[in-house]
Structure 1
Amino acid sequence: MSPLPTTVPAVIRSRVRAAVRRPGRAARPGRRTLLTPEETQDRALLLRLCSLLLQYPDTELAAARPVLTATVEALTPSPGAEHLAAFTAWFSDQGPEALERHYVEMFDLRRRSSLYLTYYLHGDTRRRGMALLTLNQRYRAAGWNTDGGELPDHLPVVLEFAALAGPGGGEAPLRQHRRGLELIHRALTDSDSPYRHVLAALLTLLPPPTEADRAAVAQLVAEGPPNEEVGLDPYGSYGEGEFAPPGTFVPPMPAPPTRVPPAPTSRTEGPQ
């Protein structure tokens, strides 16, 4: 694998190389590893590139497009590398405003291609809040803190963790949400979005879908995820920065009181 070009902006270079500096954990005693160190590094770099390319194309990422294209071209030949090359060819040819509009349309305004994975498995139910907590606890147990910038099920976050933690436990959330990833890929393909290539590259790293997986994806397409009239408690609720699927009514935040009420005579619990 060729070294990364020295012209990479410092922030992007460090983010990409982190996956190479930190391969997966050593296998447990008595357990055979199925990947060579070189294969583990290639896999981690592919995951990290998928994470970067699925992030909002802000000014920094748009400016790094030549570097990202060169990095993809230097990947070890594989089906995943071919998919990323197809994507970066389009990505490099678009104007910044066009990239932003397309990203918002694909990932912010359409439920079927949202990047929040637990939505596909649990929908708007109480189980989704618990799934978010469990995922965040997995990150912390591995010594990784997402700094609260995104929900822990946001696909670029999950991909970054997979790149850093390795093929075993690091990629477990991706395997768990395989059906959601298939649905995102199908939605992007139906929309003829070039982002389908990034999802296709990711899917090459996962086991082939089973018949049960295909049936579950078909059911998701027909019926959508489970639904309850609840928020993401105990993780949070709509209207405070957390994810609400496009089309969901988000009530306005309550107005502050016009005067200070009298002090209560006893301590009471607020609404749950």
Structure 2
Amino acid sequence: MKILKVISLLLDYPTQVIFDAKDELAQAIAATRVISPEQRLAVQALVDELTAGDLMDAQEAYVKLFNRGRHFSLLLFEHVHGESRDRGQAMVDLMAQYENDGFAIDTKELPDYIPLYLEYLSHCDEPTARAGLADVEHLLALLAARLVEQGSPYAACFQALLQIAGFEPEVAIAEVSEQVSQEVYDDSFEALDALWEEEAVTFMSSEQTDSCGINSANAPQKQREDVAVPLHWVDFAHDATATNKV
């Protein structure tokens, strides 16, 4: 689905690609029918906000929101397993899933990085993509609720993902609202320093990484393109895998 590729790009660290592709993004958002008209407007509003100002300002706002602590972390398993060793096995399993489906990872991001996961799902058929989102519905709702509470336009991305997965965003968010209301959010540098002081956990040994077969020559590859950007924007006009999957 093209819209998953759009949301993947919007949730990744802002680059010049967003500015250069804003017309294509707008076309893809307007064309999709897997989210409601209201949700299309909300996602488009995020595109407009990101591209209306200076790129460095967008990058600074992104880092302040997503890269300070775990509250808004874009790593799926961080919300499930924290720093436990169970997270390492979950990563190995997800990497194996990517490999089995011929999706090669050639970035430095962890496999549970949400924009990467969405890019993977954008290559899947629609039922598989919807099921993949449904599997993490609670986490999508949790992040959506937290972002709504902060008044962030990024909430539109997670609300759209909930809708694609077959859930009503308002209902899903309401189900986690009590949990979110009781959370204490601290994005101070002192709190960030405290996180860094926690004991580091090695999730995967080099042998485990090798066994996952990343970039394996034996598997049919859907190699991620354009290494110049963090999550590699593929021109819709040349993306055969996304044809008629909006």
- TM-score, length of structure 2 as denominator length: 0.66
The residue aligned with 2:45 is 86
1:205 aligns with 2:164: yes
State the partner residue of 1:260. Answer: none
Aligned length: 190
Supply the distance in 2 between the matched residues of 1:53 and 1:153 (Cα, whole angstroms): 17
Matched residue SS, 2:204: coil
TM-aligned CA distance change 1:75 to 1:177, over 3 Å: closer
Number of the residue aligned with 1:129: 88
CA RMSD of aligned residues (A): 3.1
Aligned match for 1:64, one of 5, 21, 34: 21
Which runs of 5 or more structure 1 residues have no equivalent in the other structure? 1-43, 237-272
Identity %: 25
Report the AA paired with residue 150 of structure 2: S
Residue 102 (str. 1) matches residue 102 (str. 2):
no
Match of 1:53 among 10, 30, 53: 10
Q: Tell me the CA shift for residue 232 of structure 1.
A: 3.8
Does structure 2 retain, via aligned residues, the 8 Å contact 1:185–1:199? yes
Counting helix residues as a fraction of each chain, which structure ranks higher?
2
Q: 1:230 to 1:149 in 2, by over 3 A?
A: closer
Q: Please tell me the residue identity of whatever aligns with 1:218.
A: Q
Distance 1:152 1:221 in 2: 30
User: What is the TM-score normalised by the length of structure 1?
Assistant: 0.61
Higher relative contact order (CA 8 A, sep 6+): 2
Of 81, 96, 111, the match for 1:152: 111
Structure 2 equivalent of residue 214 of structure 1: 175
Cα shift readout 1:228-269 (whole Å, capped 9, x = no counterpart) = 955142258xxxxxxxxxxxxxxxxxxxxxxxxxxxxxxxxx
Say whether the 8 Å CA contact 1:136–1:152 is kept in structure 2.
yes
Aligned to 2:137: 178
Contact 1:113–1:183 under 8 Å retained in 2: no
Q: CA deviation at 1:54?
A: 0.9
